[in-house]
Chain A
Amino acid sequence: MEGLNLIAAGLACVAMAGAGIGVGTIFGNYLSAAIRNPSAAQQQFGNLIFGFAVTEALGIFGFAIALILIYAPPG
């Protein structure tokens, strides 16, 4: 069954949808909170980036699995 690893790699990219929802939630909530209280926004910027980085990691794990499936398919 040649080429099924490419389909699997495409399926692994579904992980990016989850990361997209997560990152969107984080930035959206930060923005709405920052509009309500702009003076507190600057102090929370570090927390924003931390949450973004941790969420984004999950999408990147999916990307890594896609790369493994394309360039070093098991079996």
Chain B
Amino acid sequence: MLQVATDPMHQFQVARWIPFEIGGVDLSFTNSAFFMVLGVLLIIGFFAWALSRPQTVPSRKQSLAEIWYGFVAGIVKDVNHDAGKPFVPLIFTIFSFIFVANILGMLPYAFTSTSHIVVTGALAIFTFLLVVVIGVWKNGFGFLKVFVPSGVPWYILWFVVIIEVFSFLSRPLSLGMRLFANMLGGHVALKVFAGFVPQLITGLGILGAGMAAALVMPLVIGVTALEFLVAFLQAYVFAILACVYLNDALHPGGH
């Protein structure tokens, strides 16, 4: 018989599948790592399969790959215009990784690697450092203009600069936190709602089973549908914010 954990936080436990350690650093292959590797292999496999025989008039599988790529390229084009062209592959990689990791997490018994702050935080810190490095590399000291918005009178400028510095430094925090908290919160809510079913049946017997079927099941289906929307939306939000932050590096002081 299959044992099911009723604790809503149980699904986020990281389990070591292949214990592995180098110089006191734990590098075990965990269930989190497995689902990240699986997601990357799925993306590579899908695009290798869909674009195996590219045609001028795309086939169905090829147009699916083209819609996916064109969607991300469209985000970059809308936000960064032509200056963002070199960053399309990067944004595409970030979007696809988060999107596939989120969707994989929706499968029953799968692990959501994006529901851990260490994964989302690493992505966010990478994005933040990339913006700083590109900004300094392209503009030198001119990058500091990102803290000084134009058209602000001098007597409140010093205060605005302080706010801008804090808002700039809180970016990796909010970027990583948003994805992590959305995935965590959604999955906990899903589990709590699903937990109503065994509680009703053990508490009220046949009446409880009827109530679960009539009331709880539609709710759980609705929340699951909403979670699929959130899985896509959070990947989209991460991509669009990465583009907006990159825009600061490309054109500092342009806001």
Any chain A CB within 8 A of the CB of B66?
no
Any chain B CB within 8 A of the CB of A30?
no
Any chain A CB within 8 A of the CB of B157?
no
User: Are B181 and A53 within 8 A (Cβ)?
Assistant: no
Any chain A CB within 8 A of the CB of B134?
no
The answer for the CA separation of A28 and B174 in the assembled complex, in Å, is 24
Interface string of B190-213 (1 = CB under 8 A from A): 000000000000000000000000
Query: Interface on chain A toward B: helix, strand, loop, or mixed SS?
Result: helix
User: Are A60 and B240 within 8 A (Cβ)?
Assistant: no
User: Are A57 and B75 within 8 A (Cβ)?
Assistant: no
Which of these, A43, A46, A56, contacts B178 with CB under 8 Å?
A56
The contact size tier of chain A is 10 to 19
The answer for the CA separation of A1 and B141 in the assembled complex, in Å, is 53
The answer for the CA separation of A50 and B242 in the assembled complex, in Å, is 11
User: Are B78 and A46 within 8 A (Cβ)?
Assistant: yes
Chain B residue with the shortest CB-CB distance to A52: B237
User: Are B174 and A50 within 8 A (Cβ)?
Assistant: no
Query: Using a CB–CB distance below 8 Å, which chain B residues touch chain A?
Result: 75, 78-79, 174, 177-178, 181-182, 185, 233, 236-237, 240-241, 244
Complex contacts, B240 vs chain A, CB 8 Å: 46, 49-50, 53
* Given A46-B79, A57-B174, A64-B181, 9 other A-B residues pairs in contact with their CB atoms under 8 A: A46-B78, A49-B240, A53-B178, A56-B178, A57-B178, A60-B174, A60-B181, A61-B174, A63-B181
The answer for the CA separation of A64 and B177 in the assembled complex, in Å, is 8
User: Are A63 and B185 within 8 A (Cβ)?
Assistant: yes
Complex contacts, B233 vs chain A, CB 8 Å: 49
Complex contacts, B79 vs chain A, CB 8 Å: 46
Which of these, B78, B177, B185, B244, contacts A57 with CB under 8 Å?
B177
Interface string of A17-59 (1 = CB under 8 A from B): 0000000000000000000000000010010011011101100
Chain A residue with the shortest CB-CB distance to B167: A54
Chain A residue with the shortest CB-CB distance to B185: A63
The answer for the CA separation of A33 and B123 in the assembled complex, in Å, is 34
The answer for the CA separation of A56 and B174 in the assembled complex, in Å, is 9
The answer for the CA separation of A50 and B239 in the assembled complex, in Å, is 10
The answer for the CA separation of A60 and B178 in the assembled complex, in Å, is 6
| Min CB–CB distance A36 → chain B (angstroms) | 22
Chain B residue with the shortest CB-CB distance to A46: B78
| Min CB–CB distance B174 → chain A (angstroms) | 4
Give the one of A43, A56, A60, A63 with max B CB within 10 A.
Answer: A60
Chain A residue with the shortest CB-CB distance to B237: A53
Chain A residue with the shortest CB-CB distance to B243: A46
